Amino acid sequence: MKILVPIKRAIDYNIKPRVNRNGDGVVTEGVKMSINPFDRIALEEAIQLRERGEAEEVIAVSIGVASTEQQLRNALAMGADRAVLLTTEQAVQPPLAARALLAIRAELDADLVLMGKQAIDDDANQTGQMLAGLWDRPQATFTSRLEVQSGWLNATREVDAGLETIAVELPAVVTADLRLNEPRLIKMPDIMKAKRKPLDERPLEALNLSMPAQLEVLSYETPPARQGGYRVESVGELVDELKQRGVI
C-alpha cells in the first residue's frame, strides 16, 4: 500500500499572525513557517502504518512556493520515503488543491490519501472531502483512530454525539484529527539523511489544471481586542445582566 500525505506550509502555531499594512494579507516575511500541525499528525500515522508493515511507501506532497521545500525536507526527516513539490506563486484554494492531489495520486498510484482535517491558516476543512468526491472513493474524516484490515480501514471518528467507527474500503481518503497520535520529534541525524532522499520539484502548471479562484478575499482585519470583565455582587445581578444581553 502506498500512502500519499499532503503537506501544507503554514505559519507556526506558536506565532501570532499579524495583518500587513495594506490589509490584504498576513505578514510572512521573517516569520517561522512549519508543517501544518494536522498534516504532521497524518504523516506520523502514515509512518507508523509503514513501520507496522501495513504500508510499503509514504510519499509527501505539497503545493506552494519554492521555499516549501523546507517543510517537505522536514517531512522526509520524520520518515517519509520521498516527496513531491508542485511550485506556484498563486494562492491555492481547496478546489484546485483537490484536483492537483487527484492528479498526483493517479500518477503515483497511491492507495490511501492520509491528510490533516484542516489547515490552521484558513480552517477551510474542504480539500479532503473534495478530493474524495472527485476521486469517487470512500472517505473517513476527523479520524482519531485507524486500523487496516484486509483492504479495509476501520476509522474511529469524532462527531458531535461522541465517537463512531466506520469501515471504508481502500482506496480511500482519510483526514486526521488532533487525537490520532502524537508526532515524533525530528532528530539531527534524520535531518542529514533527509537531504539524500528524493524530492521531485515541478511547476503546478505542468499538471495542466484550469481552475479559476472560487473565492475572492477583499481584506484582512485584526479581531477586536477582548473587553475586560467585571464582578457582580450577587446571583440576581448576574441574571439581570445576562437578561439585558439577551443571553437568557
Q: Give the domain CATH number at 125.
A: 3.40.50.620
- Calpha distance 192→100 (Å, rounded): 30
Whether 144 is in a domain gets the answer: yes
What residues pair up with 203 in beta bridges, in sequence order? 87
Q: How many CB atoms lie within 10 A of CB 3?
A: 27
Whether 232 is in a domain gets the answer: no
Domain of residue 199, residue span:
2-214
Whether 198 is in a domain gets the answer: yes
Closest CA to 67 of 52, 87, 50: 87
Q: What is the number of residues in the chain?
A: 248
pLDDT < 70: residue spans in the chain = none
Whether 25 is in a domain gets the answer: yes
pLDDT of residue 223: 84
- What pLDDT digit, counting tens, does each position of 80-91 carry? 999 999 999 988
- Calpha distance 173→175 (Å, rounded): 7
- What pLDDT digit, counting tens, does each position of 2-36 carry? 999 999 999 999 999 999 988 888 898 899 999 99
Closest CA to 91 of 222, 213, 221, 220: 213
Domains: count for the chain: 1
pLDDT of residue 215: 84
Whether 119 is in a domain gets the answer: yes
Q: Are the C-beta atoms of 200 and 83 separated by less than 8 Å?
A: yes
Whether 85 is in a domain gets the answer: yes
Q: Are the C-beta atoms of 9 and 207 separated by less than 8 Å?
A: no
pLDDT of residue 216: 84
pTM: 0.87
Whether 248 is in a domain gets the answer: no
Whether 237 is in a domain gets the answer: no
- Calpha distance 226→246 (Å, rounded): 19
- Calpha distance 165→153 (Å, rounded): 10
pLDDT of residue 95: 93
